[in-house]
A and B are shown apart, each in its own frame.
Chain A
Amino acid sequence: MDKTSFKRILKFGWKNMGRNKEATLASIFVIFLAVSLVSVLFLSQGITDHLVNEVKEKIGISAYFKSETSENEINNVKNKIKESFPEAKIIYISAADALEKFKESHEGEPIYEKALDQVGGNPFRGSLDISSEEEESYEEMVAVLEANFSNYIYKVDYLNRKEIIDQVFNISRNINIIGISLSILLIGLAVLISFNTIRMVIFSQKEEINTMHLVGSPKIFMNGPFIVQGVLYGIFSLVVTNMILIPFIYYISPILQANLAGFDLWVYLGQQLIWYLGLQLLVGVGLGVAATWLAVRHYLRN
């Protein structure tokens, strides 16, 4: 296709869109709904992931070290674990820190202060708090700790927590499955509605397509302008979606942050902007182009 033909196809598509205002608005509206839905599901996935990770971080195992183990030795164990399990989050809590934490959390409770006095000195041990996003890592970590560092380790608190770890991971898996299924269902519905609306719009221009055919128009001049229309529908719906959604996210972000374990939706949007816009472009333009192309192809074939 030469440059002149390409420019003419763009011109026909643009003019056709402007001259069928009602059909254009209907098409942009349905694609806008689909793009908005996908965007909201994308952001919801971010919120869900954050909340699930927050819970996952709260669980985990603790390895308590024998009193005589030095801080260097504990750090050495920490480094070795980190080498084998790079995804794991490991926090070293010294005996002094543990005591301080205990005192802080039981401040103003004489019974605990008395108990500490009676025991005398620092009854706490240095420990490593280990959390991982991968459920199966826990058992492997315990095995590594027990096999290689049993000289230093007093106790690994795993069996007590195994049940809760399993439950949290099960819930997380179920949330993902439900989320993905719901997203597929809703996106499927949105796609179907958009497809049918655009097909109806093209149907109203069936006579036009037939006339182009009768005057010997090459195929590219028959379906090209409609595909251009599809692209423009997608771009316009993307713009409309973001004109509504972005200020809304900006407004709602501090409220969510206060109520959703510190999740900053605005920052998340900034971090995921390329994916967010890419997904919108894929859904908006993809839907517009696919629906118009399939509808026009149907009429050209008949």
Chain B
Amino acid sequence: MIKFKNLYKTFDDHNTGLKDINLEIKKGQFLTIIGPSGAGKSTLLNIIIGEKDYDQGSLLFEGQEIKEMNNQEMARLRREVGVVHQDYKLLKNKTVKENVAYVLEVIGVDEERINSDTQKALRLVGLEDRTNYYPDQLSGGEKQRLAIARALIHQPKVIFADEPSGNLDPQNTRNIIQILNKIHDLGTTIVVFTHDKDVIKQTPGRIIVIRDGRIVQDDHKDFVF
């Protein structure tokens, strides 16, 4: 589904980029990418969603080179994936329901389906009683759950979650991971980027350790930073 081959990224200010990334994410996987702050996790995510460019190597999304995508293809890719950002990136002027429905509205889905899918997604993340709230009226955990509902509403092929435990207490973190597990059970590929060792105790499947822009461990649950 997603294939990195000898991918490099350097920054002008000599910040850690990515070095020789070789990685294949297969359909239906639950992948956790763990590494300390500054290891290159966010760079990896930003490159996948086309927010950052890469210098060398190849990155294929369903066989298509991301670097060669034009603006429209990139927008389509973003609609085919779901991203849960660390800072949530919610639309502050829209209600909970509108934030989730927005993704379907811009791709022309009919109102009836939007209403039923939005309700389902909000029920799945436990926000069905917050539909008319604005993001600023929600707690951190609720915002994170809203971001997940928005990421999954259009049934993306893959959901990326960047530091899903970042601003949350252990209880809320557990809830979020449970929701991601539930979505994974429904057949969606999940990729979690985290620095939190507690998160990987709760995530199933493959684990990748990234440090100083390099992949240092793959499929290894028993690791030490």
Residues of A within 8 A of B (CB): 2, 4-5, 8, 15-16, 19-20, 205, 207-208, 210-212, 214-219, 221
Closest residue of A by beta carbon distance from B90? A211
Residues of A near B76 (CB, < 8 A) are 216
Contact A215 B79 (CB under 8 A): yes
Contact A205 B93, CB 8 Å, known A214-B78, A214-B85, A216-B78: yes
Residues of B within 8 A of A (CB): 49, 51, 71-72, 75-80, 83, 85, 89-94, 102-103, 105-106, 108, 110, 150
A216 to B108, CA, bound (A): 13
Q: Taking the nearest CB of chain A, how far is it from the CB of B100, in angstroms? A: 11
Residues of A near B83 (CB, < 8 A) are 214-215
List of 10 A-B pairs having minimum Cβ-Cβ separation, nearest first: A216-B78, A216-B79, A221-B106, A211-B89, A217-B106, A19-B93, A216-B75, A8-B105, A215-B103, A211-B91
A124 to B92, CA, bound (A): 86
Contact A208 B91, CB 8 Å, known A214-B51, A214-B83, A217-B75: yes
Contact B78 A16 (CB under 8 A): no
Residues of A near B150 (CB, < 8 A) are 215
Contact A207 B77 (CB under 8 A): no
Q: Taking the nearest CB of chain A, how far is it from the CB of B114, in angstroms? A: 10
Q: Taking the nearest CB of chain A, how far is it from the CB of B9, in angstroms? A: 19
Q: Taking the nearest CB of chain A, how far is it from the CB of B134, in angstroms? A: 9
Which of B72, B91, B92, B94 counts the most A-chain CB atoms under 10 A from its CB?
Answer: B91
Which of A205, A212, A216, A219 counts the most B-chain CB atoms under 10 A from its CB?
Answer: A216
A117 to B106, CA, bound (A): 96
Contact A216 B85 (CB under 8 A): no
Q: List 10 other contacts, CB 8 Å, given A19-B93, A211-B90.
A: A4-B108, A211-B89, A212-B102, A214-B51, A214-B85, A215-B83, A216-B79, A216-B80, A216-B106, A219-B75
Contact B108 A212 (CB under 8 A): no
Residues of A near B94 (CB, < 8 A) are 15
Contact A214 B89 (CB under 8 A): yes
Closest residue of A by beta carbon distance from B151? A215
B108's partner among A5, A20, A211, A214 (CB-CB below 8 A) is A5
Q: Taking the nearest CB of chain B, how far is it from the CB of A98, in angstroms? A: 77
Q: Taking the nearest CB of chain B, how far is it from the CB of A26, in angstroms? A: 16
Contact A215 B93, CB 8 Å, known A2-B108, A5-B108: no
Closest residue of A by beta carbon distance from B71? A219
A2 to B75, CA, bound (A): 18
Residues of B near A205 (CB, < 8 A) are 93
Residues of B near A211 (CB, < 8 A) are 89-91
A208 to B136, CA, bound (A): 14
A19 to B136, CA, bound (A): 13
A-B contact pairs, 19 of them (CB 8 A): A4-B108, A5-B108, A8-B105, A15-B93, A15-B94, A16-B93, A208-B91, A208-B93, A211-B89, A212-B91, A214-B51, A214-B83, A215-B79, A215-B102, A216-B103, A216-B106, A217-B102, A219-B75, A221-B105
Contact B51 A207 (CB under 8 A): no
A215 to B49, CA, bound (A): 10
A173 to B31, CA, bound (A): 79
A68 to B93, CA, bound (A): 89
Q: Taking the nearest CB of chain B, how far is it from the CB of A299, in angstroms? A: 15
Q: Taking the nearest CB of chain A, how far is it from the CB of B99, in angstroms? A: 9
A281 to B92, CA, bound (A): 31
Residues of B near A16 (CB, < 8 A) are 93
Which of B51, B92, B103, B106 counts the most A-chain CB atoms under 10 A from its CB?
Answer: B106
A16 to B102, CA, bound (A): 13
A211 to B91, CA, bound (A): 7
Closest residue of A by beta carbon distance from B89? A211
A237 to B189, CA, bound (A): 51
Residues of A near B80 (CB, < 8 A) are 216
Q: Taking the nearest CB of chain B, how far is it from the CB of A113, in angstroms? A: 86
B77's partner among A15, A216, A221 (CB-CB below 8 A) is A216
A234 to B93, CA, bound (A): 22
Q: Taking the nearest CB of chain B, how far is it from the CB of A104, in angstroms? A: 75
Contact B49 A207 (CB under 8 A): no
Which of A207, A212, A218, A219 counts the most B-chain CB atoms under 10 A from its CB?
Answer: A218
Closest residue of A by beta carbon distance from B79? A216
Closest residue of B by beta carbon distance from A220? B106
A137 to B49, CA, bound (A): 73
A221 to B107, CA, bound (A): 10
Q: Taking the nearest CB of chain B, how far is it from the CB of A60, in angstroms? A: 65
Closest residue of A by beta carbon distance from B153? A215
Residues of A near B79 (CB, < 8 A) are 215-216
Which of B51, B71, B94, B150 counts the most A-chain CB atoms under 10 A from its CB?
Answer: B94
